Amino acid sequence: MADTADLIGRSDVNDIEAILAITNQNVDEAEHTVCAESEAIFTWNYDRSRPALVKLYEKAKKSQWNANDLPWEIEVDQEKVAEANQNQNGFNRHGDYADTPFEKWGDKEWIRFGVESQNWTLSQFMHGEQGALICTAQIVETVPWVDAKYYAATQVMDEARHVEVFARYLDTKLSGHYPINAHLKMLLDEIIADSRWDMTYLGMQIMVEGLALAAFGFLHQMTTEPLLKQLLRYVMSDEARHVAFGVLSLQEYYQELSGSEIRERQEFAFEAAVRMRDRFLQQETWERLGVDVKEAVKVMLRAPERPIFQSMLFSKIVPNCKKLGLLDAGDGWLRERFTELGVIQFEDWADTGEEYALLDEVAKDRAAAPA
């Protein structure tokens, strides 16, 4: 059994220097190759034996949408959006920043940070969605159940559409892409390289997409920009189904695993949680702004809204892990790790296997919209 240092390369999950030491060394690469050695599985059993997945598949078919249906004609003033977002989020541009890299910053510098933060955030969403596209294509190949293959095929289409809309928004409404964050890249590489189909589910459907669903919800609530708000609403409805797909599939499969196999899944869930948390330090943004990264991160971590934002990102992951039996399996190892990360308070929130229908209302939204 691995300890924290074995899993994430450091014994202290909050070691800022160790976190910032992980950087993307290939920011100019146009392609990135990961060796995936999974087996493609045919199934000759076409019986529709999993009603929950059948229901999810039918829902997915009815909820497909076209990126061209979004109101792309809306003009976006990125500086005004950045300022409005900061005001909406309670960000204090005029706080006490004495003896920090922001001591001489005024509104102009803080608005520029807001602009770059938008570029960075949407870029990481886009890269993560491409990771989901690749992972879901793997699931179609590797999962042994026909109902899961059917549903995963609809998700491949969803993920292609998500990459499309985030790339289009970045290219036509914002002011530049960022390379993939090193922590996110490490996690995606590990998920794709693992040959076991259920680890692809756990890493992508439960962890990455679970955090993305929470992040999209936070940004959807915060932003005042109408095009992005509608884009996120559409994407969220898809993401809720994707996470539910992981919960419904793994809940059945995990009942067959041994204690040591479950412990391995617990360890992977913890590693994924830490990698995703670390990426939200936005070190690439501070580098582009020419600010001392370590000092900037220290200041931002002290912001009163930061702990709330950071913990809320796990509001989908923790209850889903509990639903899968990962929190308390064995000696409750994952419960202890999530307690250390300060996110265990979300364990009794609704799991996505139950709430996806509440979020999946795109077809209804479109039908209600004025012609």
Q: Quick check: 225 and 81 in contact, CB under 8 A?
A: yes
Taking the C-alpha atoms of residue 1 and residue 24, their distance in angstroms, rounded to an integer, is: 29
Mean pLDDT across the chain = 91
Query: Domains along the chain?
Result: 54-368 (1.10.620.20)
Contact 128, 208 (CB under 8 A): yes
Residue 48, pLDDT > 70, answer yes
Residue type, 153: A
| pLDDT for the residue 353 | 63
**DSSP label of 351:** P
- What is the rounded distance in angstroms from the CA atom of residue 201 to the CA atom of residue 191? 9
Separation of alpha carbons 116 and 11, rounded Å: 32
pLDDT of residue 365: 57
| 368 band by pLDDT with thresholds 50, 70 and 90 | very low
Is 109 a residue whose pLDDT tops 90?
yes
**Residue 37 pLDDT exceeds 90:** no
User: 22-31, 138-147, 194-203: which has the minimum mean pLDDT?
Assistant: 22-31
The secondary structure of residue 91, as a DSSP letter, is: -
Residue 138: pLDDT above 50? yes
Token pair in block for residue 2: 């691995």
pLDDT interval class at 364 (50, 70, 90): very low
Check whether 346 has a pLDDT greater than 90: yes
pLDDT score for 369? 53
**Main-chain dihedrals φ then ψ at residue 226, nearest 5 degrees:** -65, -35
Neighbours of 57 (CB within 10 A): 23
Model pLDDT, residue 183: 95
Q: With cut-offs at 50, 70 and 90, classify the pLDDT of residue 96.
A: confident
- Sequence letter at residue 190: E
Instruction: Judge whether residue 367 has pLDDT over 50.
Output: no
Looking at per-residue pLDDT, the higher value among 88 and 107 belongs to 107
Instruction: Please report the pLDDT score of residue 72 as a whole number.
Output: 98
Name the one residue in this structure whose structure tokens are 């959006």.
81
17-26, 63-72, 198-207: segment of lowest average pLDDT: 17-26
CA count, 13 A, side-chain hemisphere, 31:
2
Q: What angle do CA 181, 157, 251 make, to 5 degrees?
A: 80
360 has pLDDT over 80 = no
Question: Rounded CA gap, 296 and 284, in Å?
Answer: 11
Please list, in sequence order, all residues whose beta carbon lies within 8 angstroms of the beta carbon of residue 118, skipping any fewer than 6 positions away. 78, 81, 82, 85, 174
Query: Hey, is 313 helix, strand or coil?
Result: coil
> 54 is written with which tokens?
């059948």
- Mean pLDDT in residue range 182-194: 96
Angle made by CA atoms 249, 198, 22, in degrees to the nearest 5: 125
Q: Give the range among 78-82, 84-88, 324-328 with minimum mean pLDDT.
A: 84-88
Whether 356 shows a pLDDT value over 80: the answer reads no
Q: What is the pTM of this model?
A: 0.93
pLDDT computed for residue 350 by the predictor: 79
Residue 357: predicted pLDDT: 66
DSSP 8-state code for residue 201: I
Residues 262, 264, 266: CA angle, nearest 5 degrees:
70
pLDDT in tens, 295-342: 999 988 887 777 777 778 899 999 999 999 999 998 999 999 999 998
Return the pLDDT at 363: 43
Residues 6+ apart with CB under 8 A from 141: 38, 39, 40, 41
**pLDDT for position 203:** 96
Q: What proportion of the chain, given as a percentage, has pLDDT over 90? A: 78
For residue range 214-236, list pLDDT tens digits in order.
999 989 988 989 999 999 999 99
Spatial separation of the C-alpha atoms in residues 188 and 310, rounded to whole Å: 20
CB atoms within 10 A of CB 153: 15
